[in-house]
Amino acid sequence: MNYRTSTFISYIFHPLLMPSMAFLILYWLMPELIKPLTLVTLPFLFITTFIIPLLSISMLKFSGSISSFKLENREERVMPFLFVSIFYGLTTYLFVFKIQVNEVIGILLATTTVLIAVLTAVTFWFKISIHAAGISGMVGFFLVFGLRYPDSLALYPLLILLVSSGLVMSARLQLNAHTPKEILAGMVAGLGICFGSLYWFI
């Protein structure tokens, strides 16, 4: 895998895109699980979980609070991660208490927020891979869907996500963005938190 391919994979599977990707897959293959959300609601989710956090990181970059969008330095990651945690917490609140989504969606959003908060806390001491955590979290979610709803189509995205997770983690290593230990920590955090919470609560 060369540098350009690794960079492309890192962008396509950016951690901030994971919530929108998960809900899009659910809308396409398992729409009964996201009712009353519709395709019209999904752009709002994209704005609150990707656009607004991205704008906040851009503001930090232009203000000089961070030196790069890649957040290569562990110390520079703390503030952007805190902002993202707050935005995801507000998104969870809006969807659960204002839009009143169903239990499954509420747990998905709450779990994602918890995962980001945990990653933020870990970042005070350790440069954990959020790419590995994000894609592994998706694997955890769809693994639970496959176990809980064996007659659903969850197996197909699960297989694709398993392959994608290998590509993403290989890409991060190829780019020297993380060490194997940082990748492994992200994978364990994402898979453990997302699988554990969804399996326990639904």
Euclidean distance between CA atoms 153 and 28, whole angstroms:
10
* Helices and strands: H and E segment counts in the chain: 9, 0
- Per the CB < 8 A criterion, the answer to whether 14 and 172 are in contact is no
Q: What is the DSSP secondary structure assignment for residue 151, as one 8-state letter?
A: T
Burial of 152 (0-12, 13-18, 19+ CB in 10 A): middle
Q: Categorize the per-residue pLDDT at 81 as very low, low, confident or very high, splitting at 50, 70 and 90.
A: very high
Examine the pLDDT at 36 and tell me if it is beyond 80: no
pLDDT band at 31 (very low <50, low <70, confident <90, very high): confident
Write out pLDDT tens, residues 158-182: 999 999 999 999 999 999 989 999 9
Q: Which residue range is the domain that position 33 belongs to?
A: 3-201
Q: Which residue has the tokens 């020297």?
A: 176
Residues 106-149 have pLDDT tens digits of 999 999 999 999 999 999 999 999 999 999 999 999 999 999 88
Rounded to an integer, the average pLDDT of 31-36 is 81
Q: How far apart are CA 17 and CA 32, in angstroms?
A: 22
Q: Closest Cα to residue 151, out of 23, 32, 60?
A: 32
Burial 172-184 (b: 16+ CB within 10 A, else e): bbbbebbeeebbe
Residue 43 Cα distances to 21, 52, 76, 121, 162, angstroms: 11, 12, 29, 29, 26
| Most confident of the ranges 21-25, 37-41, 42-46, 132-136 | 132-136
Task: Assess whether pLDDT exceeds 80 at residue 39.
Answer: no
DSSP characters over 90-120: HHHHIIIIIS---HHHHHHHHHHHHHHHHHH
CB atoms near residue 195 (< 10 Å): 20
Q: Which tokens in the block code for residue 41?
A: 């609601």
61 — pLDDT class (breaks 50, 70, 90): confident
Distance of alpha carbon 70 from alpha carbon 13, whole angstroms: 14
**Cβ neighbours of residue 165 closer than 8 Å, sequence gap 6 or more:** 132, 135, 136, 138, 139, 187
pLDDT class of 90 with cuts at 50, 70, 90 = very high
Number of domains in the chain: 1
Gap between the Cα atoms of 147 and 166, Å rounded: 22
Per-residue pLDDT, averaged over 189-202, amounts to 93
**Reported pTM:** 0.92
